[in-house]
Structure 1
Amino acid sequence: MTASPASGPLTEGPHDPEHDPGASYALERSYVTQLTARIPSTGGRTVDHVSPISGQPLGSIPQSEPADVEQAFVRARAAQRAWATVPVAQRQEMLLRLHDLILSRREEICELICLESGKARKDAFLEVAHLAMTARYYGRTSAAHLRTQRLPGMFPGLTHVELNRVPKGVVGIISPWNYPFTLALCDGIPALAAGNAVISKPDAQTILTGLIGAELMEQAGFPRDLWQVMSGPGADIGTPMMAGADYICFTGSTKTGKLIAAQCAERLIGCSLELGGKNAMLVLRDAAVERAAEGAVRGSFSNSGQLCISMERIFVADQVYDRFVERFVARTKAMSLGASTSWEVDMGTLISQDQLDTVEAHLADAVAKGATVLTGGKHRPDLGPYYFEPTVLEGVTPDMTCFGTETFGPLVSLYRFQDESEAIKRANDGSYGLNASVYSRDGARARAMARHLKAGTVNVNEPFGAAFGSLAAPMGGMRESGLGRRQGAEGIWRYTEAQSVGTQRLLPITPPLGLSEEKYAAIMTTSLRLLKKLGRA
């Protein structure tokens, strides 16, 4: 068990040998009070907050009222008007300070993520690293992305055109529980960099991690009203959030994403949606089997499979199928589970009873219809209430629920293929299109295959990190996996309005005095033909 930082928020709690081979930790009450003081809550309502690791209490969370959300938008609009006048270079400096703050408080943030989400510490660290990288990327590139751009005018030398990128206003960000630190902040960082304010609604199950992000923002120099955190169920505060925002960024289920898209359409505001996936890994006949098996374990069981871009279907070429299965199953069996926040744990717990029920239902349905469990398949209440073993299935058929429905848990299915075109077709089956992976020693061939996969990101010889960890590369889904892109230039442009400013010099775009419309049309026709010959766009 990792010791708490000397000045951090954690205090050693009672040892429970049934659930934790080491010590257990609880959050200091003063630390929870410090974080939750950021939540606007005039109604006095609170809800109890517990850790999924062992059900231990983490504190009481104030709940925001609809009126609190409305007032937050009033404050955010005032803050945004002032913020839009701050030079981009100063915004970048704050983001670079945020980068350093995140890394300096790494252990504290990791511990909080683990206690709230139940994930393994190594998975929590990936959130810290990804968010620091996001702050650094936009801290270095925002000015270039937002710089006024000179465009070709209608008439060379006479028409001067510039493209400005102006902020949308106040952005509403609704983030999930599975990656509570990075997803609560990574979409808001470019929103701030572009000159917007943010109203954030983290998932209730991981609200404290979202609040520590807001605290770090303020410490980096961002005005407090520029980033506000709301707490409460969507049924209570979703309506005022949708009514007040100028743009919505949502990460979560496809079902909820469709509802949000419809509400945004009603108001004619934009949205970006990163939704579900039933992601496929393809292991080709020339793949390095050991490397593919390692990637399959990481791709399938990181954060107990509670990752939108994780692998739930693995298609393996007949030539290497038996060797791959042997190594993949062996690696899966060797994984360590534990109700602990230590670095030695390979896989943590599911977040809730709902997630556990889904995994168990998908597994029971598959087994009842003839699927074979190669390893795993058991609930582990001896570790904690929601622990479930990493599970590998063989013989999954289209009539089984887990064949095409996202499980979002540590359950993966193996499929043998003989023809690569067949594998591509099977990988593209269904309505999702978020992430895919191809393993081959021939990188050029794998990259060529990627163009035929219906997925917003494709990783070669890696399950998800190569694309998601490259901040200049846009990330998002096709089909029912979402709209829009995070990261890269597209990740900041989505929070801006493109404004074209055209200036006409010397001659107006109309017939000069005394020239007939017919003669003017003839001159224009000649000019257009000439511009084509000159290669003008």
Structure 2
Amino acid sequence: MTDAQTRATTGTNPLAPAPQGVRTAADVVTPELVAQLTKGVAGSGRTANHTPFTGEKLADLPESTPEDVAKAFETARAAQAVWARTPVGERAAVLLRFHDLVLSRQAEVLDLVQLETGKARLHAHEEVQAVAVAARHYGRRAAAYLRPKRHAGAVPVLTKVSELRHPRGVVGQIAPWNYPLELSVGDALPAFVAGNAVVMKPDTETCLTALWARDLLIEAGLPADVFQVVLGDGPVIGPEVVRHADYVSFTGSTRTGREVAQGAAARLVGVSLELGGKNAMLVLEDADIDKAAAGAVRACFSSAGQLCISIERLYVHEAVADAFLERFAARTKALRLGTALAYGADMGSLVGQRQLDAVTRHVDDAVAKGAKILAGGTARPDIGPYFYEPTILDGVEAPMSVCTEETFGPVVSVYRFSSDDEAVERANGTPYGLNASVWTRNARRGREIAARLRTGTVNVNEGYAPAYGSVQSPMGGMKESGLGRRHGSEGILKYTEAQTVAQQRLLPMAPSLGMDDEKYAAFMSRSLRLMKAFRFR
């Protein structure tokens, strides 16, 4: 009998709702707040967003038209020309002030993130952490990343070379619903400090969070026209953003990412894409299984699994599988689900009906084809319309949909392996390559296996946070999980155009000093041999 069947027959509820808070959506999303946040968002139509906790409407919002998008780019382009001439130190200071404002006023945005996404508050706080870290990093390091660099010239002494970095212009950003603070303004911060303007299209259902961040950046000193927001249906407004942008930043599904890339390629503008994942966690036979079980809960069920880098495939060495799964299932069943605008719940809601349908379809299909539910497996409308219990599936195999398709929900499939080679081969056996996790007591072994995994990030003895939070290092996907990187030097230099300025001195790059063509060719050949002998690079 499954856990769900046990509850149905006994009335017990091991996944009890967490205590509820006293603040409501109406207390947080007031007409005054909506008016403040949507000020400057052009739109002749009207739309609305809703909270997953109850399904009720949060706010009426302006809906942009293609003409509004064109106007937003026109306004941003004029403002960008002035912003680009602002010294980089002044641009960086805006980010550092924004860092302080986010931390001091985090309660405001935590409420918005929870109401718009349905997350537990601790998972919403991950976004606050990520944005603060990115603001601090680029606020401190942008000048060094963007500083002109000297390079060796074609001819030593005679050729002086500098590499300059210019902003691309106006970046078009299409941001997803699942991390509405971090994946909106978090990605825009390096673009701003590099001297660009941004026209952002956040998901309408989570746009209040992005608009709150814009309001705070303006308070921190960013010129308002440099940051434009347009709202509307993705298939209508998204292509318009791509059509006008000088560079495109997109986070979302692989399917839509292909369309964005095609649109950008047609205009010969650059693009960065963070796309889907079917991320694997490997628990080796020497792992600390108690720590691994606790880590698996974080890796699989943070933000109800609606995280591109969360774990959906769990490979456990056969020698420790039973002991690990006993602990993992027990921890999963003890999770508290809730809607409170307060700390206490361990997991929140799915974002909407489409996600709930996808999760239900994957679980039902797997069970019908022979998979076993070790925990969860049931929707929880008693808590909220889109709640679904954190679910562990054992015995998953092709052709079950959950085996290869991205679920993007609180569902993980368990597989057993007998050797490191088998685990690596199976972990690499998908078209995706975004994130992975390896658990072992042997740090060297963990690093060696990590290097064999074809994913943009790998975490040893944690699920996703260490690699993502290490903002000096690049983060992104291999294979069908994306193009380009966020964070580190790549995360800011992608928003720039490189320019090489070479100054030739004393002698031209041509026959001179009485040399004819043949003597010049011989002279240059001798020079090239000497440069190799003296190890010039």
SS in 2 for 1:235: helix
- Looking at structure 2, the residues matched to 60 and 49 of structure 1 have their Cα atoms a distance apart, in angstroms, of 7
Residue from 29, 33, 37 that aligns with 2:35: 33
In the alignment, what sits opposite 1:534? 534
Instruction: Give the match's secondary structure for 1:364.
Output: helix
Counterpart for residue 451 of structure 1: 451
Query: Deviations for 1:282-304, whole angstroms, at most 9, x for unmatched residues?
Result: 01111111110011000000000
> Is 1:325 equivalent to 2:325 in the alignment?
yes
> What secondary structure, in the 3-state scheme, does the structure 1 residue paired with 2:184 have?
helix
Partner residue in 2 for 1:289: 289
Query: 1:339-389: CA deviations, max 9, x gaps?
Result: 222200000000000000000000111001000000100000000100000
Aligned pair in 2 of structure 1 residues 20, 325: CA closer, same or farther (>3 Å)?
A: closer
The corresponding residue for 1:56 is 56
Distance (Å, rounded) in 2 between the aligned partners of 1:453 and 1:61: 44
Instruction: Quote the offset at 1:32 in angstroms.
Output: 1.3
Number of aligned positions between the proteins: 518
Q: Deviations over 1:304-336 (max 9, x none)?
A: 000000000010111211111011001101100
Moved more, 388-397 or 313-322: 313-322
Q: CA, structure 1 residues 90+136, in 2 after alignment: closer, same or farther (shift >3 Å)?
A: same
> Is the 2:243–2:263 Cα contact (8 Å) retained in structure 1?
no
Corresponding position of 1:196: 196
Instruction: State the partner residue of 1:97.
Output: 97
State the Cα deviation string for residues 133-167 of structure 1 (Å, max 9, x = none): 11000000000000000001111110000000111
1:129-528 pair list within 5 angstroms? 129-512=129-512, 514-528=514-528
Task: Decide whether the 8 Å contact of 2:52 with 2:118 is kept in 1.
Answer: yes
State the 1:24 CA deviation.
4.6
Supply the AA of the counterpart residue of 1:321: A
| Post-superposition CA distance 1:239-271 (Å, at most 9, x none) | 331121000000000000000101111000000
Secondary structure in 1 aligned to 2:237? helix
CA root-mean-square deviation: 1.1
Q: Tell me if structure 2 keeps the 8 A contact 1:46–1:61.
A: yes
Q: Which amino acid aligns with 1:329?
A: A
Partner of 1:23: 22
Query: 1:203-243: per-residue Cα shift (whole Å, max 9, x none)?
Result: 01101011001101100100000001110012332233112
Q: What SS does structure 1 have at the residue aligned with 2:115?
A: helix
The aligned residue for residue 4 of structure 1 is: none
CA 1:530–1:22 in 2, change beyond 3 Å: closer, same or farther? closer
CA contact (8 A) 1:287 1:440 kept: yes
8 Å CA contact 2:92–2:138 kept in 1: the answer is: yes
Corresponding residue of 1:15:
none
One-letter identity of the residue aligned with 1:253: S
User: Could you tell me whether the CA contact under 8 Å between 2:173 and 2:241 is conserved in 1?
Assistant: no
Question: Structure 1 CA distance, aligned partners of 2:374 and 2:288?
Answer: 22
CA contact (8 A) 2:48 2:204 kept: no
| CA deviation string 1:456-506 (max 9, x = no partner) | 000000100110001101100000000000000000000001100000000
Output the amino acid matched with 1:31. Answer: L
Deviates more, 1:51-60 or 1:482-491: 51-60
Q: Structure 1 stretch 179-188 or stretch 227-236: which is displaced more? A: 227-236
Aligned-partner residue type, residue 40 of structure 1: A
Moved more, 52-61 or 102-111: 52-61
Q: Tell me if the contact between 1:19 and 1:384 (Cα under 8 Å) persists in the aligned partners.
A: no
CA distance in 2, matches of 1:240, 1:482: 21
Rounded to whole Å, the distance in 2 between the matches of 1:197 and 1:53 is: 35
Shift of 1:129: 1.1
Are the equivalent residues in 1 in contact too, given 2:69–2:230 (CA < 8 A)?
yes
- Equivalent position amino acid for 2:22 in 1: A
CA distance in 1, matches of 2:191, 2:351: 29
2:292–2:461 Cα contact (<8 Å) kept: yes
Query: Matched residues in 2 for 1:158 and 1:95: separation?
Result: 41
The answer to whether the Cα contact below 8 Å between 2:298 and 2:463 also exists between their aligned partners in 1 is: yes
SS of 2:508's partner is coil
Q: d(CA) in 1 for partners of 2:360 and 2:63?
A: 32
CA–CA distance in structure 2, aligned partners of residues 89 and 22 of structure 1:
43
Distance 2:34 2:294 in 1: 38
**Alignment CA distance shift 1:51-1:19 (3 Å):** farther
SS at 2:183 equivalent:
helix
Could you tell me whether the CA contact under 8 Å between 2:18 and 2:337 is conserved in 1? no
Letter in 2 for 1:210: A
246 and 284 in structure 1: CA distance in 2 versus 1, 3 angstrom threshold:
same
Normalised by the size of structure 2, how large is the TM-score?
A: 0.95
Distance 2:406 2:19 in 1: 31
TM-score of the aligned structures, taking structure 1 as reference length: 0.95
Q: How far 1:444 moved relative to its partner?
A: 1.2
TM-superposed CA distance for 1:22, in Å, is 4.2
- Give unmatched runs, 5+ long, in structure 1: 1-17
Q: How far is 1:28 from its partner?
A: 1.3
Deviation at 1:449, TM superposition (A): 0.9
Q: 1:212 to 1:22 in 2, by over 3 A?
A: closer
Which residue identity does 1:116 align to in structure 2? E
Q: Give the letter for the 1:144 counterpart.
A: A
Is this contact kept in 2: 1:146–1:165, CA < 8 A?
A: yes
Q: Which runs of 5+ in 2 are unaligned?
A: 1-16
State the alpha-carbon separation in 2 of the partners of residues 398 and 504 from structure 1: 64
Secondary structure of the residue aligned to 1:186 is helix
Whichever residue aligns with residue 532 of structure 1, its letter is K
| 8 Å contact from structure 2 (residues 174, 238) kept in 1 | no
Deviation at 1:513, TM superposition (A): 5.2
Distance in 2 separating the partners of 1:382 and 1:195: 49
